[in-house]
Copies of this chain bind each other. A is one copy, B any other.
């Protein structure tokens, strides 16, 4: 019914579809970069300054943003409205249909696709925002949430709104430190998400490249042990995905190890595990935390990954056996469908 009416609408007022998208993108961009001025906005998106100016005026008059001397800021009502707009734009751009198709092809319970706008900025912030919104609604009292590290997850943590009310939730890192920058380590992210949610959290302090024979010593540490116990009891897990080579490089592996990895056919990485195209684990970093078998125990496993270049990695890692949900962007979704053999007909 909705789609039917939208089709009629597109025929009678086709120009408005573009306009709606532009305003949506502007509002979205302000949301992240606030406070931001019109010139910066015009540069960020590919719109003329004048045009941005007009749209800013419109958005201000609609009460969605406030314009301060420091730049445009999103208003409270604008914040709320952005959430509504997400749904609207999805309907407009047929993203719901994309979601259904991808859900079927990947064998997942749920798929969330964020529309890609005209910002030449990365879409990862946007994925992060919507993942964060989704998580916030999902979490209930008593939940134990496990999170991985990575850039995408950092975005999730970063764009999560702050709750005033504290909730009876515990956030735990899904893995120890594995030679990453602090901002994108699972520990840091777990802590930040917990803080935003008003929840509790546990840390998993494990040194890099720990020798296997020393593992028992570490895991017998009471603090570590407690965290690991929570981890086993986690009922929600959200994690990112990396390209195999990228991750190996980022973790400064020796060159021959990387070559070895690639020879084994590794294309995707998650949790220190490297997967080949068939979805088999071909290599595992000696790390502490969740293993592939543990994922099956977790009630709801959400994977967040965006960017067309990550498509192959996503396919290698995501499996109906482990995962329940995928959050990605429109372009990547289309690429996934293409790779999976599903024809990507733009049916509008």
The yes or no answer to A2 lying at the interface (CB within 8 A) is: yes
- Assembly of this chain: how many copies? 2
The yes or no answer to A20 lying at the interface (CB within 8 A) is: yes
Residues in B neighbouring A84, C-beta threshold 8 A: 8
How far is it, in angstroms, between the C-alpha of A88 and the C-alpha of B9 when the chains are bound? Answer: 7
The yes or no answer to A23 lying at the interface (CB within 8 A) is: yes
Interface residues of A in 18-32 (CB under 8 A from B): 19-20, 23-24
The yes or no answer to A79 lying at the interface (CB within 8 A) is: no
Interface of A is mostly: helix
The yes or no answer to A70 lying at the interface (CB within 8 A) is: no
Tell me if A12 and B91 are in contact (CB < 8 A).
no
CB A202 to nearest CB in B, in angstroms, measures: 41
The yes or no answer to A16 lying at the interface (CB within 8 A) is: yes
Tell me if A11 and B91 are in contact (CB < 8 A).
no
The yes or no answer to A339 lying at the interface (CB within 8 A) is: no
The yes or no answer to A85 lying at the interface (CB within 8 A) is: yes
The yes or no answer to A62 lying at the interface (CB within 8 A) is: yes
How far is it, in angstroms, between the C-alpha of A85 and the C-alpha of B8 when the chains are bound? Answer: 7
CB A90 to nearest CB in B, in angstroms, measures: 10
Tell me if A12 and B2 are in contact (CB < 8 A).
no
How far is it, in angstroms, between the C-alpha of A5 and the C-alpha of B92 when the chains are bound? Answer: 10
How far is it, in angstroms, between the C-alpha of A24 and the C-alpha of B11 when the chains are bound? Answer: 11
Residues in B neighbouring A88, C-beta threshold 8 A: 5, 8-9, 12
Q: Which residue of B lies closest to A18 (CB)?
A: B13
Closest 6 CB pairs of A and B: A16-B16, A8-B88, A13-B16, A13-B20, A8-B84, A13-B19
